[in-house]
Chains A and B, each alone.
Chain A
Amino acid sequence: MAAPELEIIVDDPTAPDAASPAITDSAAVEIVVSLALLALAVTFGFDNWRTGIGWDTAGPEAGTFPFYLALILSAASLYGLVTALRARRRHRETFVTRAQLRRVMAVFVPTLLFCLATQFLGLYVASFLLISGFMRLVGRIAWWKSLLTALVFTAAMFVTFDIAFDVIMPKGPLEAAFGY
């Protein structure tokens, strides 16, 4: 008996061009990240020092444990900063190319807008807008397919979470109009 075969072909017309120029190198990003972590460690360390890192009647004060962690974090980030500065002199490794960054932004920006929309319009309306908009504008999928998919998925989520499992999501004016 021959097993039934099913051919699956998926194309990616907007795939990032392999020859696209690099935006920045990994060592540069490492330097920025190390500096940011260092700043975070110093801020946290200072706040914990202010809270108290000594010993009181109930044992070590609240800031003690995190204070020493902030010290460890700042030491490790300083070390990372130095190694990244050294590595950068030797050779540069691509962090992200322009074409890749464009694709990443094509997801990140809609996600950011989705979070904003959730805050003001509620999660379900935002979800409908994100899915239909993303499928149509980024995926170039037909309007009717995009709208239908978004509607079905959003409705399924609403039924699953808000009705079946009693997990209440943020709502906006639309749901209010329907009395939810």
Chain B
Amino acid sequence: MEAFGLLIHGFAVLLTWKILALMMVGLVLGIFVGVLPGLGGPNGVAILLPLTFTMDPTSAIVMLSSIYWGALFGGAITSILFNIPGEAWSVATTFDGYPMAQQGRAAEALTAAFTSSFIGSLVAVLLITFLAPMISSFALRFGPPEFFAVYLLTFCSFVGLGREDKHKTVISMSLGLLLAGVGMDTVSGQLRMTFGSGDLLRGINFLVAVIGLFGISEILLTMEERLALRGHAAGISLRVVLAVWRELPKYWVTLLRSSLIGCWLGITPGGAIAASFMGYNLAKRFSSDPDSFGKGRIEGVFAPETAAHASGTAALLPMLALGIPGSGTAAILLGGLMVWGLNPGPLLFVEHKDFVWGLIASMYLGNVIGLVLVLTTVPLFAAILRVPFAAVAPMIVVSCAIGAYAIQNAMFDIWLMLGFGVAGYVFKKISIPLAPLTLALVLGSRAEDAFRLSMIGSGGDVKVFWSNGLVGSITTLALLLLFWPLLEQAWGQVGRAWQAVTVR
């Protein structure tokens, strides 16, 4: 077991006081971010990224990923206690979690949520531990055409499998790819789309865009809502925890099903939000008593939370193995890798063993510490909600500005952030998805390089994308996914026609 030995090595990298302290700080900040309205996982990580600029990559990624775990845990607190999902992926948790809290079983619901989150991410981390090294060593054989085909697959699956209007996904993605191209061309050194502006020469930084798109726009959106809330913050006693844990084996089917759904949707760009709903709906469908869901059934908390966490964690698998993020937050962590001077992709497993295995080990450790932390400190974090939004909002704005400025020390970036904030607000309201834009911005230049290198290699012949079995099947799969909705429609029509014929 090579992976096992490397994992032990990873733990050895982690077990220093400095890294453990950073992990705690990250988890606490992450729970904050998850609990507060108007601050989500992606922008929490993006805003706090500048803190890590002067750290070494391992400490930096441990802190950032801990923020991510913390945010995943934190989202459940407000959903259960106040019926206000702190994150979109905890909406499904409110269905049964809030009724439980109203029946005075808040502690039970919170324990269930945290425990199932823990189980979900544990399954996903196990998957990462054993699958990611295999995928990355396989991908070491990839040349530019293979890489371009994989990028194409990522983009096409967004269009084909996304729930939004197809043209809106295409708009978001092509806009992202275009904006990624602004500035100096990396191959020829020529300037593109700068229109003589010195500030655009540097290009549009991905993190600045993310801070605007998720941070600023989220505050504008939050202000539209009524921000009143009312509820009880319950402490969790050890007895309740043990009582819930004793019940766990009874629900192993639900937990396993949700973990698998989460892992699958995390690796493919379906995301934690879709996973949590799917986990909930399937648990309800397969239940012997589906009517009791929505009225405070503990299974209704287990199912979505397990799936959301499994998905949030599994999203890091393609990021580590191939350099392709499976979620918005994974995309930001990827942006972080580049800032710290690491080159994301399959070589990461060969060239930066300490970093990769330190990160994987921190996933185990971070989730254990996170579980203990949230179980013991829930009332403290719930009390944060007493702070009025009028105090929180300007602080978030200032943090966003600091984050945006720190990346390149440019005042222009603060204005850019504001522009992206307004665009993000409008896009969200007319349901143009932001995730494809984020992904396109971070992958844009590498996708273009892969495309141009393939073209140079083949002398401009597009057939290079079908030149061998591997690249050919990835490209074909990508095109199939792109036209999936059309194919499905056509298939349905064929089926109906066939039915009409046979019935007659």
Contacts and interface: CB of A to CB of B under 8 A. Distances in A.
B455 A167 contact: no
A135 B53 contact: no
B402 A157 contact: yes
Interface in B142-194: 165, 167-168, 170-171, 174-175, 177-178, 181, 185, 187-188, 190-193
A63 B448 CA distance: 11
A160 B405 CA distance: 15
Nearest to B216: A111
A59 B397 contact: no
Interface residues of B, number: 83
B452 interface: yes
Interface of B: 50-51, 53-54, 81-82, 107, 165, 167-168, 170-171, 174-175, 177-178, 181, 185, 187-188, 190-193, 195, 216, 219-220, 223-224, 226-237, 239-240, 379, 382-383, 385-386, 388-391, 393-395, 397-399, 401-402, 405-406, 409, 411, 414-415, 418, 421-422, 425-427, 429-430, 432, 448, 451-453, 455-456, 460
A168 B409 contact: yes
Given A65-B451, A103-B223, A169-B402, A47 B195 contact: yes
A58 B187 contact: yes
Interface string A22-54: 000010011001000100110010011001100
Interface of A: 1, 3-12, 15-16, 26, 29-30, 33, 37, 40-41, 44, 47-48, 51-52, 55, 58-66, 69-70, 72-73, 76-77, 79-80, 83, 95-96, 100, 103-104, 106-108, 110-112, 114-115, 118-119, 123, 127, 130-131, 134-135, 138-141, 149, 153-154, 157, 160-161, 165-170
Contacts of B171: 37, 73, 76-77, 80
B79 to A, nearest CB: 14
Contact of A1 (B81, B178, B228, B237): B237
Given A48-B193, A66-B178, A118-B411, A33 B226 contact: no
Contacts, number: 232
Contacts of B383: 6, 8
B354 to A, nearest CB: 23
6 contacts: A3-B240, A5-B232, A7-B231, A10-B229, A107-B397, A118-B401
Given A8-B231, A115-B414, A115-B418, A141 B391 contact: yes
Contacts of A37: 171, 175
A157 B50 CA distance: 12
A4 B401 contact: no
A172 to B, nearest CB: 12
A111 B418 contact: yes
Contacts of A135: 388, 390-391, 394
A8 B231 CA distance: 5
Nearest to A51: B192
Nearest to A145: B391
B220 A96 contact: no
A37 B423 CA distance: 11
A28 to B, nearest CB: 10
Contact of B430 (A10, A33, A149): A33
B190 A62 contact: yes
A170 B405 contact: yes
Given A37-B175, A58-B456, A169-B406, A115 B401 contact: yes
A77 B173 CA distance: 12
Contacts of A154: 398
Classify the secondary structure of B's interface with A: helix
Nearest to A153: B395
Classify the secondary structure of A's interface with B: helix
A160 B47 CA distance: 14
Contacts of B393: 107, 134
A91 to B, nearest CB: 15
Contacts of A52: 190
Task: Report, nearest first, the 8 A-B pairs whose CB atoms are least far apart.
Answer: A139-B390, A59-B456, A15-B226, A62-B185, A73-B174, A12-B228, A3-B235, A134-B394
B303 to A, nearest CB: 25
Nearest to A101: B224
A110 B382 CA distance: 28
Of listed A1, A12, A111, A161, residue having the most chain B CB within 10 A? A111
Contacts of B414: 115, 118-119
Nearest to A154: B398
Contacts of B234: 3, 5-6
Contacts of A104: 220, 223-224, 425
A71 to B, nearest CB: 9
Given A6-B382, A8-B82, 8 more contacts: A5-B233, A60-B452, A62-B187, A69-B178, A104-B223, A123-B402, A134-B390, A169-B402
Of listed B174, B181, B237, B451, residue having the most chain A CB within 10 A? B174
A108 B386 CA distance: 23
Contacts of A51: 190-192
Contact of A66 (B50, B181, B455): B181
Contacts of B239: 1
A131 B190 contact: no
